[in-house]
Amino acid sequence: AIAEKLERARRRRLAEEARKLDPKEERRLAEEGLAADSPTWPGY
DSSP string, 1-44: -HHHHHHHHHHHHHHHHHHH--HHHHHHHHHHHHHHHGGGSPP-
Say if 43 falls within a structural domain. no
Q: How many domains does the chain have?
A: 1
Specify the pTM: 0.46
Specify the amino acid at residue 3: A
Task: Give per-residue pLDDT as tens, 1-44.
Answer: 899 989 888 889 988 998 999 999 989 988 888 777 777 777 77
**Domain assignment present for 14:** yes
The closest alpha carbon to 37, from 29, 3, 24, belongs to: 29
CA distance 44 to 39: 13
- Report pLDDT for 25: 92
Which range of residues forms the domain containing residue 29?
2-37
